[in-house]
Amino acid sequence: MPIPDSADLINLDSLLSPAEKELRAAVATFVDAEIRPGIADWFDQAIFPVELVKKLGNLGVLGMHLTGYGCAGRSAVEYGLAVLELEAGDSGIRTFVSVQGSLAMTAIHRHGSEEQKERWLPGMAAGDLIGSFALTEPTAGSDPAQLATFARRDGDDWVLTGSKRWIGLASIADVAIVWAQTDDGVRGFLVPTDTAGFTATPITQKLSMRASIQCDIELHDVRLPADAILPNGKGLRAAFECLNEARYGILWGSMGAARDSYLAALDYAKTRMQFGQPIASFQLTQKKLVDMALEINKGTLLALHLGRLKDAGALQPHQISLGKLNNVREAIAICREARTIFGGNGITLDHSPMRHASNLESVRTYEGTDEVHTLILGNHITGISAFD
């Protein structure tokens, strides 16, 4: 599916290969068929459409940037294009793909043993198994060094105790990657969710990401065998490597929510009549639409540039912060501005911009808040860390 000229003002498409465009079209077709028809009701009723998990596996987007173990082995740019299209449908569905692929599967692929990879990755890539990634705690969010969950040794076993908060998909997951303090620093553990002492309770009354699940987790003396630890990832750095993968996806995905809001507003503005004219004929409306289009083109070009750097093995963490901070900030502004073009109709779920804007409140918060990414960039520019 070609992107309409009104969304691609600088012929970004000319920078994509035929294979990249083909993959994007396949995901866009999936979004049209499987997400758009149901999303307003799912968001309204706070339903995560679990039946999509297997379909997303069949589409080949779960852990698609990983190689081997049933994963698709696609490039970083292809992964970016896929999540952009998914987030044009809804951030909650893209969030599932990020938690599954960028966080849980990446943790196992990068830090796991051969046995752990064989045990979990093929089923997760196929959408037969669901993973979650449990780092955040009630008292450790932006500062995960404060993790209080502890894993102690008892003979050969590990015994985990603690609480986690905001953990995506945990109540329907088969396995949780739980990050815990040990006598040897922070380590990741593979916790099958049916292990005694593990409970996950969905957080309710959310005003954002309503077509998605986030949970509180309690770990009461969760006893695990010796081989539950991820052997190849030591310290918080191991968790951050996974977070960087997810942050990279977000800098693409947010542009999908922005593009969908802009195109919806453009369509509406051309047909909505006031003062005897379509509202698109008013200069103030045109300025809103032009400002949206500028930032979508700039943000998508930035995402593509960072994706090419990633595929060349040259992408730096501060560049991911730059992309995530800029693109989510611009996307949320675009969605809010798009909402104004719908007037009163814009506050209903008949139209996507306000749903996207409310989802993006979560997106600007998770995987490093605006403030955290500002301080990462501030540190890079000045050489002085404001965290310490």
Ligand X SMILES: Cc1cc2nc3c(=O)[nH]c(=O)nc-3n(C[C@H](O)[C@H](O)[C@H](O)COP(=O)(O)OP(=O)(O)OC[C@H]3O[C@@H](n4cnc5c(N)ncnc54)[C@H](O)[C@@H]3O)c2cc1C
Neighbour count for residue 281 (Cβ, 10 Å): 14
Tokens of 164: 């986690």
Among 56-64, 291-299, 325-333, 366-374, the segment contacting ligand X (CB under 6 A): 366-374
Which helix (H) or strand (E) segment holds residue 71: the answer is strand 71-72
For ligand X, the binding residue among 6, 17, 67, 142 (CB under 6 A) is 142
DSSP string, 159-184: EEEEEEEEEETTTT-SEEEEEEEETT
108 touches ligand X (CB under 6 A) = no
Nearest alpha carbon to residue 296 among 339, 341, 326:
326
Among 128-136, 148-156, 184-192, 254-262, the segment contacting ligand X (CB under 6 A): 128-136
The CA–CA distances, whole Å, from 267 to 7, 15, 35, 272, 374 equal 12, 26, 20, 9, 35
* Residue pair 95/89 in contact by the 8 Å Cβ criterion: no
| Least gap, CB of 386 to ligand X (angstroms) | 7
Among 35-43, 256-264, 301-309, 368-376, the segment contacting ligand X (CB under 6 A): 368-376
For ligand X, the binding residue among 221, 348, 371, 385 (CB under 6 A) is 371
Nearer to ligand X, 168 or 307 (CB): 168
For ligand X, the binding residue among 23, 28, 134, 217 (CB under 6 A) is 134
Concerning whether 218 is annotated as a catalytic residue, the answer is no
Helix, strand, or coil (residue 190): strand
* Residue pair 110/242 in contact by the 8 Å Cβ criterion: yes
Q: Write down the catalytic residue from 78, 115, 367, 371.
A: 367
Which helix (H) or strand (E) segment holds residue 26: the answer is helix 18-30
200 touches ligand X (CB under 6 A) = no
Residue 182: what are its φ and ψ, rounded to 5°?
-135, 175
Per-residue contact track with ligand X, 210 to 249, x per CB under 6 A?
Answer: ----x-----------------------------------
| Least gap, CB of 272 to ligand X (angstroms) | 33
For ligand X, the binding residue among 136, 149, 193, 297 (CB under 6 A) is 136
For ligand X, the binding residue among 4, 68, 148, 387 (CB under 6 A) is 387
* Residue pair 167/218 in contact by the 8 Å Cβ criterion: no
* Residue pair 238/180 in contact by the 8 Å Cβ criterion: no
CB neighbour class for 12 (10 Å; exposed up to 12, middle 13-18, buried from 19)? middle
202 touches ligand X (CB under 6 A) = no
Nearer to ligand X, 16 or 172 (CB): 172
For ligand X, the binding residue among 38, 141, 202, 278 (CB under 6 A) is 141
120 touches ligand X (CB under 6 A) = no
Nearer to ligand X, 167 or 304 (CB): 167
Gap between the Cα atoms of 388 and 384, Å rounded: 9
Nearer to ligand X, 235 or 343 (CB): 235
Nearer to ligand X, 247 or 288 (CB): 247
| Least gap, CB of 281 to ligand X (angstroms) | 39
168 touches ligand X (CB under 6 A) = yes
| Least gap, CB of 34 to ligand X (angstroms) | 22
Helix, strand, or coil (residue 187): strand
Nearer to ligand X, 338 or 376 (CB): 376
β-partners of residue 190 are 177
Helix, strand, or coil (residue 126): helix
Gap between the Cα atoms of 278 and 336, Å rounded: 21
Which helix (H) or strand (E) segment holds residue 157: the answer is strand 157-168
Residues making contact with ligand X (CB under 6 A)? 99, 133-136, 141-142, 166-168, 209, 214, 362, 365-366, 369, 371-372, 375, 387
Active-site residue set: 367
